Amino acid sequence: MDITEVLRFVGALVFIIGLIGLCGYAARKWGLFTGGYTMPGALKRLAIVETKPLDTKNRLVLIRRDGKEHLILLGAEQSLVIESGIDAPVEERKVEAPANDADTNDKREPETATQTANERFVAQLPVPAQQMHRLVSRLKERRA
């Protein structure tokens, strides 16, 4: 076996392992490893808010379900619900007005409002779908 063949083999092995790592990174980045199945377009009812490792075998997990939070101690042998039915904090966000036309110098202040169900649904859509939704909304406003 020649040294060039060994180098080609090692190079091909490094390339394949790099491709596997790149695919794994991309899958995590785009949310393909969500840990559960939800219907497309459905609101997500369950979310992990925060995790805190206590030691090598135990961790605290704060989960949110339907506006309530639950604190759970997860261990290697058993799990324990520490506190249940905590009211989730109401999150407010700034809703910015749509971009104004170039000929108007009307500066609008962003208004603070809680999210409606429709806004939460739109927020879960991919960015191109959100942009399409905004475009359709603007066209509807101009028609009215």
The number of domains in the chain is: 3
Whether 54 and 69 map to the same domain: the answer is yes
pLDDT above 70 (res 93): no
Helix (H, G, I), strand (E, B) or coil at 51: strand
Structural domain includes residue 40: no
Q: Sorting pLDDT into bands at 50, 70 and 90, what band is 138? A: confident
Whether 97 and 79 map to the same domain: the answer is no
Whether 83 and 98 map to the same domain: the answer is no
Whether 55 and 81 map to the same domain: the answer is yes
**Cα-flanking dihedrals φ and ψ of residue 74, to 5°?**
-105, 130
Range of the domain at 28: 1-32
Average pLDDT of 69-83? 88
